[in-house]
Structure 1
Amino acid sequence: MGGSVPPLAVDIDGTLSRADSSIDGRVLDVLREWDAPVVVATGKALPYPVALCQYIGVPPRVVAENGGVGLAEDEITYHGDREAAQRVVDEYVEAGYGTGWGRVDLVNKWRETEVAVAREQPLGPLEELAARHGLHVVDTGFAYHVKSPGMNKGRALRDVAAALDYGLSAFVAVGDSQNDVEMLAEVGTGYAVGNADEAAKAAADAVLDAEYADGFLAAVERILDEA
């Protein structure tokens, strides 16, 4: 890859993965060989994308928890309120619902700014309780996330970009979900893979026909052609 490629922000689930949520191995060397900063942006808690970066062999530059946490150049920023989100979920459970994760909740164990509830659980009551507390629920396609208003991947990516001495408009981004909307809209060029939801497609500058990791690789081809 030439030195003119832009910095890249990329979602994990639904973008670097196959339909069964496993990471497509073809994307790993693409990210490792990218000749500009790579930022992994995900709804998962911070340890997951950090571990992915380490196994790929790239510096840990991360947006985690749907924008609740940003990490770059040994600096972490926070944008959410875990205690407020936990109060909402506690009331949800007291009302007779559940988080849906079973006895050992690895989904939320390391979360610092939000709380996730399985999509099999009723959404309406969760949204009502969140609104009562001045919070918001985002459906990532994998879980319902109770989070602070204004907390999103675009905002956290702005902090990460500044730490890397880039403006947000210098970045290209690839994503697939409602939680990618702000990131796709605010970067220089946003790409939605073919399996993206309608909100992500509407926010993107370009929508690929190919889905999941195939869509990411198709976006990479376009980015390299335009570099």
Structure 2
Amino acid sequence: MTPPLVLDIDGTLTRADGEHGIDPRVFEPIRAWPEPVVIATGKAFPFPVALCQFLGVEERVIAENGGIVYAEEELAVNGDRDAADAVVRAFRERGYDLGWDGPDLVNRWRETEIAARLTVPGAALREVAAEAGLEVVDTGYAFHVKDASITKGEGIETMAQLLDRRPDEFVAVGDSENDVSTFEVVGESYAVANADDAARDAADHVTDGVHAAGTMEVLDRLR
């Protein structure tokens, strides 16, 4: 029986050739998948919603590392970004910024966390976040300043309730430490070959292919 899916975006559906964007090879198999497909990401809410719309699939989304969950026309927002904003202010008082050039489109629509570019001093950011009781998660694409109690895994549990499913019915594919909590609650998990050590150690399987090629490998196997 084909299982419902949980798919990360960056590093999991993306191209492996150094170019930005989703690998177009994943479009058709995701669109044709007979069971629910959940897009679970650290990105702000509008990005996975737009991806679902362009893919032509139902909008079943976990955004901001579990901070926002949307499915079946129900929206759950877990927490707010006030504490993360306070961390950013303290970080700037120490002479740093978030590292984004021009208008900050990474954080413009965020509601529950703040993301900094990986070029900023991570140790200093973690120190400031810890003083405020928050954590910093490295997704391989950004540092996310967030409440440690909010995770993708908890987002999956909420999503499963909205879809009248059990979390262990899902199969998940991801690539970084923010996917570990997802891997802990689903029935089967795959880390793509480019995944960080935390994701690889937590996953049930590691693919041979990197990025979207690894995800395609999983989809072919499950079909």
Aligned to 1:129: 128
Aligned equivalent of 2:205: 206
2:11 corresponds to which of 9, 14, 18: 14
Report the Cα offset of residue 157 of structure 1.
1.2
Query: Whole-Å Cα distance in 1 between the matches of residues 55 and 102 of structure 2?
Result: 31
Distance, in Å, in 2 between the alignment partners of 1:42 and 1:213 is: 15
Corresponding residue of 1:52: 51
Q: Percent same amino acid at aligned positions?
A: 52
Query: Do the aligned residues in 2 keep the contact of 1:79 with 1:156 (CA within 8 Å)?
Result: no
Q: 2: distance between equivalents of 1:151 and 1:18? A: 28
What are the equivalent positions in structure 2 for 1:1-227 lying under 5 Å apart? 4-19=1-16, 20=18, 21-224=20-223
Amino acid at match of 2:45: L
Aligned residue for 1:150, secondary structure, equals coil
Gaps of 5+ in 1: none
Partners of 1:175 and 1:102 in 2: how far apart?
Answer: 27
**What is the alpha-carbon distance in structure 2 between the residues aligned to residue 100 and residue 149 of structure 1?**
23
**In structure 1, the residue corresponding to 2:42 is in which secondary structure?**
coil
| Alpha-carbon shift at residue 170 of structure 1 (Å) | 0.4
Structure 1 outlier segments of 4+, above 3 Å: none
State the Cα distance separating 1:185 from its structure 2 match: 2.1
Deviation at 1:36, TM superposition (A): 0.4
CA distance in 1, matches of 2:79, 2:145: 10
8 Å CA contact 1:81–1:147 kept in 2: the answer is no
Please give the TM-score of this superposition, normalised by the length of structure 2.
Answer: 0.97
Q: How big is the alpha-carbon RMSD for the aligned residues of Structure 1 and Structure 2?
A: 0.9
Once the 2 structures are TM-superposed, how far is the Cα of residue 80 of structure 1 from its aligned partner? 3.2
**Corresponding pairs, count:** 221
